[in-house]
Amino acid sequence: MLTIAGQTFSNRLLTGTGKFKDHKEMKEAIEQSGSEIVTVALRRVDLRGNDQYILNDIPEGVQLMPNTSGARTAEEAVRIARLSRASGMGNWVKIEVISDQTYLLPDNEETIKATRILVEEGFVVLPYMSPDLMAAKRMEEAGASAVMPLGSPIGSNRGIRMKEMISIIMEQIDVPIIVDAGIGKPSEASEAMEMGADAVLVNTAIATAASPVDMAKAFDLAVKAGRIAYESGLGATSKSANASSPLTGFLTT
Amino acid sequence: MLTIAGQTFSNRLLTGTGKFKDHKEMKEAIEQSGSEIVTVALRRVDLRGNDQYILNDIPEGVQLMPNTSGARTAEEAVRIARLSRASGMGNWVKIEVISDQTYLLPDNEETIKATRILVEEGFVVLPYMSPDLMAAKRMEEAGASAVMPLGSPIGSNRGIRMKEMISIIMEQIDVPIIVDAGIGKPSEASEAMEMGADAVLVNTAIATAASPVDMAKAFDLAVKAGRIAYESGLGATSKSANASSPLTGFLTT
Amino acid sequence: MLTIAGQTFSNRLLTGTGKFKDHKEMKEAIEQSGSEIVTVALRRVDLRGNDQYILNDIPEGVQLMPNTSGARTAEEAVRIARLSRASGMGNWVKIEVISDQTYLLPDNEETIKATRILVEEGFVVLPYMSPDLMAAKRMEEAGASAVMPLGSPIGSNRGIRMKEMISIIMEQIDVPIIVDAGIGKPSEASEAMEMGADAVLVNTAIATAASPVDMAKAFDLAVKAGRIAYESGLGATSKSANASSPLTGFLTT
Amino acid sequence: MLTIAGQTFSNRLLTGTGKFKDHKEMKEAIEQSGSEIVTVALRRVDLRGNDQYILNDIPEGVQLMPNTSGARTAEEAVRIARLSRASGMGNWVKIEVISDQTYLLPDNEETIKATRILVEEGFVVLPYMSPDLMAAKRMEEAGASAVMPLGSPIGSNRGIRMKEMISIIMEQIDVPIIVDAGIGKPSEASEAMEMGADAVLVNTAIATAASPVDMAKAFDLAVKAGRIAYESGLGATSKSANASSPLTGFLTT
């Protein structure tokens, strides 16, 4: 079971709500994914709650994790988080502070600042981050409930390119690690789990697939496969071969 | 559905029977894997059918694929195949011809010869091979029902190291491609399926896991995930980022 | 020509002075490397200048770049830099601030602070950093004369594992990029240069080779090869083949 | 020194003559590359030896290695080799037998046949091959003076994608290994040499560079760097860091 801020979850695939064709497709994809935690950009939420109110189409029982996308500074992220809570969307927040407009890479320094403030204010804080050990340590010290290092730039579908640093973070940090951004294929989600990730967050790879609903299912299976493998103890690799069948002398002995 | 020699199968994970602690563990692992095709070294079969008769512990309804492990030449492989059929083990055969004792790499030339002979004799022939396009073409021309290129040396758990050539074979060959040998992790099985493999065969990675039965389940899920992804149309990768959430001006507009 | 802080250099391989068997070997290796910039840990310098004075054995005309290794905070780095300048070792300083004792990963936040202070005080500042775009931008804004992202942990000889982020930094930052730490083979130094690095710093891979003096020469050649390739315009890669010789119909037309 | 068929060579970069803009550029590039062995497609040779006679523009003292490009069978390769020798081009021959027109992959079986015949007839035979251990063993047994496994498809500039099998061939075969085809960057040539290749052959990456003459020089340096590194004993890699400078307690002790 995955435990974040005292809550337990049995599914380790988190999904996003962006880029789907419509709410119907989004809802079906989330259902197929088995996700128990879903992120939504507050900007996308019509705070007057009209017909197009996105929250109507998030399956019941799912933990909402509003994100601060659009924030370029700690201050802006803090304001968005407060607005989110005031709007009745709960006290979870995924901090995204981004000023780089080409690669959409998070600003760790501002993210750490926002984490400190929002933890103080009682939020459950999950910072999205550029993989760096010392920044992850500061977020953990500031009270983050998990850290969310990126695998590669958002929406690039390039997989876990920052593997070296993510592995080090997994080894050195105690709070859950959720690999977020860049995962483009189920095999990459499995790999993150085999490496020891506690969960992964996938959005673009599902929402932009030819069939998002089927792809959501594929990611669900892949995350489960990777987690079981991690828990079942992967075998050792070796340079040379090891026969799985007896190889010599069948006919001659 | 996977079709080999006119038979259809819904599961795309093939398993082997070597290296398990005992028959009970083997049987449970095969069941968890969902495999509908299982390979067994004829050498391991006690042809007198006594208590330790391995075939007693292969789940019912599973297609048996005896292999010729131990053969060092085409001639030896042919003799083993005939013995297998004469023993009532059916007409499927996975050809393994190996004389290299360090990396246990198959001998394509001898394998092609054995394929020609056994197809003539009415066998359903699935040759294990060193990934090479021209050899795969000759096996296909000889009437092989599938080709089984290795990902990396048997039992090495090193993954799909011969990706370049396997991808080319997938593109240029019409019979099913089953990636065999070297797959050490569920993520690697998913990846083979995403690349377009029709199936994968896994033995060592399951049998030598700390918990083989759980690992069999993990591979089943991973193969399904990879196949769905292949069929659902993976999204494109890009060098730069693509926002999944709206990113600018949330508070300022 | 490489230009750092207004000085020009024709060689793009920087070397370190640690881990050599003795000063003689170090001196010969530096000479063979062709390096015009050499880093030395101030701690290793006997400030009384006795017989073992390391600076006696650094070839003449080489730009000295004292580093702050041993510093765990910005404050400590600043004190070491001042001590270095006061000891007559010039005004260049490579900032290393490291508190993680397992992977020896630099602390970007403290490094940025030290950069700001030392640039103010007139130093030529080259910060060693964990690859992260926003941190590199802050170092550039603070007046760093170059940024030195690590390829992989110091002394690990694991190569350029942080390629994704280093490429982005190269594209988005104007000051020279010197890839530092982790480069274990000449091919990896070439690759860094082909990617667009302005220079690389190598220490462990040279000093711990069976023959450090020869290995220094190998890295010199590799860096030159990679730089020429970068400047000469690498050809495009393609998925399929492109004949370099005419392939069809030689005998039949 | 590289020894092939009793002849020694000090340079380990072989080049091809295809795809250059004109003979002048080809000649200068070969000179800059330092190559002592150069391959040329017999088809390209005007056997009447007129003004455009390519051999006029190959630097003196260079060992000519005519290739059989255009051959689709062993028989065609044998005829081209005989024609080459009869035309006064010497007794070296690089066998290329290719019938696959998409990836231009060599046909190992036909290549082995041609090797046997041409060795019998007194040629110095260097077969171009698809990397496969058993095929390399047969070529060696047939009397090949070297084997030339491809890194990736001809002209693709994709690098050494068949690393796994090429490493095994290097370990198990005694005649020189020349990595041929696919090498697109100097770093990849260095890497082949570090792995233990005896030489590399590069054509497309030089001839299609923006500046072929400079690129030829870059490959020369890279091959030298990789070879020195191989001979000088590369240091071990490690998962964690190893300080190259003293790291603790500088100011506090």
Question: Rounded to an integer, what is the distance from CA C97 to the centroid of its chain?
Answer: 16
CA angle at residue C227 from D188 to C96, to 5 degrees? 100
Q: Is the pLDDT of residue B108 over 90?
A: yes
Residue A12, Cβ density class (10 Å: 0-12 exposed, 13-18 middle, ≥19 buried)? buried
D172 touching chain B per CB within 8 A: yes
Q: Average per-residue pLDDT in chain D?
A: 91
Please, what is the average pLDDT of chain B? 91
- Is B105 within 8 Å of chain D by CB? yes
C-beta atoms of A162 and C158 within 8 A: no
Calpha distance B164→D17 (Å, rounded): 26
Alpha-carbon distance B10 to C47, whole Å? Answer: 75
Q: What is the pLDDT of residues D144-163, one digit of tens each?
A: 999 999 988 887 888 888 88
The reported pLDDT for the residue numbered D245 is 64
Cβ atoms of B176 and B197 within 8 Å: the answer is no
C209 vs D contacts (CB less than 8 Å): 229, 232-235
pLDDT, mean of residues C66-87: 95
| pLDDT at position D252 over 90 | no
Choice among C21, C24, C27, C94 that is catalytic: C94
Name every chain C residue with its beta carbon within 8 A of the beta carbon of A113. Answer: none
Question: In what helix (H) or strand (E) does residue A64 lie, and over which residues does it extend?
Answer: strand A63-67
Locate C166 and state its tokens. Answer: 């280093």
Q: What percent of chain C has pLDDT over 90?
A: 74
Task: Please indicate whether, in this complex, the C-beta atoms of B155 and A209 are within 8 angstroms of each other.
Answer: no
Q: Say whether residue A139 is in contact with chain B using an 8 A CB cutoff.
A: no
Mean pLDDT of chain A: 91
| Residue that has been written with the tokens 């990846």 in this structure | B191
The ipTM is 0.91
- Nearest CB neighbour to A162, from listed C109, C135, C165: C165
What residue in A sits closest to B190 (Cα-Cα)? Answer: A187
D107 touches chain B (CB under 8 A): yes
- Res D160: pLDDT: 86
Q: What is the mean pLDDT of residues D216-223?
A: 98
In a mutational test of the B interface, the residue from D164, D167, D170, D188 whose CB has the highest number of chain B CBs within 10 Å is D164
Testing the interface with C: which of D76, D187, D217 to mutate, by most C Cβ within 10 A?
D187
> From the list D103, D238, D251, which residue is nearest C80 (CB)?
D251
Mean per-residue pLDDT, D80-101 = 94
Residue D141 backbone dihedrals phi, psi, to 5 degrees: -60, -30
SS3 content of chain D, % helix, strand, coil (to 5): 40, 15, 45
CA distance D180 to C88: 53
Alpha carbon distance B17, B201 (integer Å): 11
Rounded to a whole number, what is the largest CA-CA distance in chain C? 82
What local confidence, expressed as pLDDT, does residue C49 receive?
A: 61
Q: What is the mean pLDDT of residues A18-39?
A: 94
Residue A203 known to bind ligand: yes
Report the catalytic residues of A: 94
Amino acid at C4: I
| pLDDT value of residue D50 | 63
Q: Give the helix ranges, DSSP H, for D88-211.
A: 108-120, 133-142, 163-172, 186-195, 204-207
Taking an 8 Å cut-off on Cβ atoms, the answer to whether A233 and B226 are in contact is no
Which residues on adjacent β-strands are paired with residue D37? D63
Q: What is the mean pLDDT of residues A124-142?
A: 97
Nearest chain B residue (CA) to A159: B237
For residues A213-242, average pLDDT: 89
Other CB atoms within a 10 A radius of the CB of residue B44 amount to: 18
pLDDT in tens, C196-228: 999 999 999 999 999 999 999 999 999 999 999
Residue type, C199: A
For the stretch D27-71, pLDDT in tens is: 999 999 999 999 999 887 766 666 567 788 888 889 999 999 999
- Which of these, A47, A57, A49, lies nearest to A22 by C-alpha position? A57
What share of chain C in percent tops pLDDT 70?
93
What is the rounded average pLDDT of the residues B150-177?
90
Give the whole-angstrom CA distance, residue C234 versus residue D215.
Answer: 8
Show residues of chain B in contact with D132, CB under 8 Å. 105, 108, 130, 132, 135
The tokens for A130 are 């550029």
- The yes-or-no verdict on residue A248 having pLDDT over 60 is no
User: Is the pLDDT assigned to residue C252 strictly greater than 60?
Assistant: no
Half-sphere exposure of B111 (CA within 13 A, CB side): 35
For chain B, give the secondary structure using H, E and C.
Answer: CEEECCEEECCCEEEECCCCCCHHHHHHHHHHHCCCEEEEEHHHCCCCCCCCCHHHHCCCCCEEEEECCCCCCHHHHHHHHHHHHHCCCCCEEEECCECCCCCCCECHHHHHHHHHHHHHCCCEEEEEECCCHHHHHHHHHCCCCCEEEECCCCCCCCCCCCHHHHHHHHHHCCCCEEEECCCCCHHHHHHHHHHCCCEEEECHHHHCCCCHHHHHHHHHHHHHHHHHHHHHCCCCCCCCCCCCCCCCCCCCC
Which residues, in sequence order, are bridge partners of residue C124? C92
Which A residues, 24 through 43, put their C-beta within 8 Å of a C-beta on chain B?
41-43
Q: What is the pLDDT of residues A150-201, one digit of tens each?
A: 988 887 888 888 888 999 999 999 999 999 988 999 999 999 999 999 999 9
Q: Where are the alpha helices (DSSP H) in A208-247?
A: 212-232
The predicted model gives B54-80 an average pLDDT of 92
- CB count within 10 Å of CB A60 equals 4
Give the mean pLDDT of D181-185. 90
pLDDT at residue number A122:
97
B220, B13 contact by CB (below 8 A): yes
Tokens standing for C140? 């550039």
| A196 shares contact with chain B (CB less than 8 Å) | no
The strand ranges marked E within chain C are: 2-4, 7-9, 13-16, 37-41, 63-67, 92-95, 124-129, 148-149, 178-180, 199-202
* Per-residue pLDDT tens digits for A60-95: 889 999 999 999 999 999 999 999 999 889 999 999
Quick one: pLDDT at residue A51? 54
Pairing of the two strands C199-202 and C13-16: parallel
Q: Which domains does chain B have, with CATH numbers?
A: 2-232 (3.20.20.70)
Q: What is the pLDDT of residue D250?
A: 53
For residue B9, is pLDDT > 90?
Answer: yes
- pLDDT tens column, C7-49: 999 999 999 998 999 999 999 999 999 999 999 998 877 666 6
Instruction: With H, G, I as helix, E, B as strand and everything else as coil, classify residue A62.
Output: coil
D113 is an active site residue: no
Per-residue pLDDT tens over the stretch B190-225 = 999 999 999 999 999 999 999 999 999 999 999 999
